[in-house]
Amino acid sequence: MQSYDIAPGVDAALGDFRVPERLGFGLVTAPVMYSVEYRDGAWGRGRLLPYAPIEVWPGSRALQYAELVFEGMKAYRVGRAWPNLFRAEDNCRRLARSAERLSMPAVPEPLFLEALDAVAGALAPSVPGQSGRALYLRPFLFGTESGYMLRNSTTFRFMVMASPVEPYATGAIRVLIERKDVRAVVGGVGEAKAAANYAASLRASTAAVARGCAVALWLDAGPQRTIQELSGMNLFAVIDGGLVTPALDGAILPGITRDSLIKLARHRGQRVLERRMPIDELLEQIASGACSELFACGTAAVVSPIAALVDADATEHAPARVDAVAAELREALLAIQERRVADPFGWTRDVARPPAAAPWARAVAG
Ligand SMILES: Cc1ncc(COP(=O)(O)O)c(C=O)c1O
């Protein structure tokens, strides 16, 4: 049964869309989006629409007070006609936790999945088929009520937009240790996927890029001695042959890729420790060789090898090995995400078929 509406123009927008060869990450936006509104304490009926500008009040709390939380996930279609999602229910749970932290209404799981299925199902033929490429899906929830009063909105909107993407970074990245700014404090919104965290990180991210690095490495908001994460990725180190990652401290985003790698590495018999990671200790371990390798992980990058940590004074800390353990884990995880091997964890699920009334349902039948 179709439980969302299809706006005029969707079929034409899909028909006109050609996926270019060069995708980058977010350079190309898919021609459809999903939108559903919340008012009077309840979610309305969703709509699939052509991708286009939307109207929001200039005074909306999303614009004025960053009342906005989001997710990032991918649909994969490697060697198959129909795409699948990866741990979509976990993204839904994390969005609900983020919403709860900002005292916004949760998006119920059936509605969250309907939105993803609507967008990824309509775009099924445009989901890239080559390994490493995917359809990036960006669900986001924001407060639409206008007003300066410091309280939550009473009206909200949940949307999903999408982009066919290449891997976020190819090759080993350099990472700038951020010694001045802090991204998130315990008790704040760091462990929520809240737009405000990214606003706090943009100055350092821009400075990192200006210094030839891909991204900034964040330290704790107190004495700035303990590693948290990167601006859009979690961090792993190979220390004395085992994997070590910062323990979730209440300010780190609990990455779904991080959690998947912990489970996958343990399943493969590797040692994994979640613990406090002081930056000075890690730099000494790189110098002594005890830390042999570093890598970052996230939905966008999957697993990204790190060539060097660069300090504020330009000192470079380069581990002896680059992309050894990381390459193995990347391939093992990607093979599950892309359904090239059996999925022992039950992490993947098919995108639901479009409703029979959708004009593109016949085109993608089979
Ligand atoms: C700050 C931050 N940390 C970590 C991650 C990795 O999370 P995930 O693996 O769920 O994509 C992301 C990306 O979403 C992020 O924005």
The DSSP string of 125-173 is: GGS--STT-EEEEEEEEEE--B-SSSS--S-EEEEEEEEEE--S--SPE
Indicate the top mutation candidate among 202, 234, 304 to test ligand 1's pocket, ranked by most ligand atoms within 8 A of CB: 234
Q: What is the pLDDT of residue 247?
A: 98
For ligand 1, the distance from its centroid to the CA atom of residue 229, given in whole angstroms, is 9
**Closest ligand 1 atom, residue 231 Cα:** 1
Q: Which protein residue's CA is at the shortest distance from atom 2 of ligand 1?
A: 232
For ligand 1, the distance from its centroid to the CA atom of residue 1, given in whole angstroms, is 34
Q: Which protein residue's CA is at the shortest distance from atom 5 of ligand 1?
A: 233
Q: What is the pLDDT of residue 2?
A: 55
Q: Where are the domains of the chain?
A: 4-166, 173-337
E-strand ranges in the chain read 4-6, 32-39, 42-43, 46-50, 68-70, 73-76, 84-86, 134-143, 156-165, 173-177, 215-219, 227-230, 234-239, 242-246, 272-275, 291-298, 302-310, 316-317, 348-350
Instruction: Quick: pLDDT tens for 188-229.
Output: 999 999 999 999 999 999 999 999 999 999 999 999 999 999
Instruction: Quick: pLDDT tens for 248-270.
Output: 999 999 999 999 999 999 999 99
Q: What is the pLDDT of residue 359?
A: 84
Task: Check residue 66 and report its DSSP letter.
Answer: -
Rounded mean pLDDT, 81-85: 96
Task: Check residue 60 and report its DSSP letter.
Answer: B
Categorize the per-residue pLDDT at 168 as very low, low, confident or very high, splitting at 50, 70 and 90: confident
Domain spanning 4-166, CATH class:
alpha beta
Is 173-337 assigned to CATH 3.40.1390.10?
no
Q: Which protein residue's CA is at the shortest distance from atom 7 of ligand 1?
A: 255
Categorize the per-residue pLDDT at 356 as very low, low, confident or very high, splitting at 50, 70 and 90: confident
For ligand 1, the distance from its centroid to the CA atom of residue 297, given in whole angstroms, is 8
User: Rounded to whole angstroms, how far apart are CA atoms 265 and 358?
Assistant: 42
How far is CA 27 from each of CA 48, 102, 156, 212, rounded to the nearest angstrom? 22, 30, 27, 21
Q: Which protein residue's CA is at the shortest distance from atom 13 of ligand 1?
A: 232
* pLDDT reading at 111 higher than 90: yes
The whole-model pTM stands at 0.97
Three-class DSSP category at 69: strand
Share of the chain above pLDDT 90, in %: 95
Q: What is the pLDDT of residue 365?
A: 55
Q: What is the pLDDT of residue 361?
A: 79
* pLDDT reading at 334 higher than 70: yes
Average pLDDT, the chain: 96
Ligand 1 neighbours (beta carbon < 6 A): 72, 229, 232-234, 253, 255-258, 298-299
- The b-or-e profile of 247-286 (16+ CB within 10 A means b, else e) is ebbebbbebbbbbbbbebbeeeebeeeeeebebebbbebb
Rounded mean pLDDT, 92-96: 98
User: Rounded to whole angstroms, how far apart are CA atoms 295 and 238?
Assistant: 9
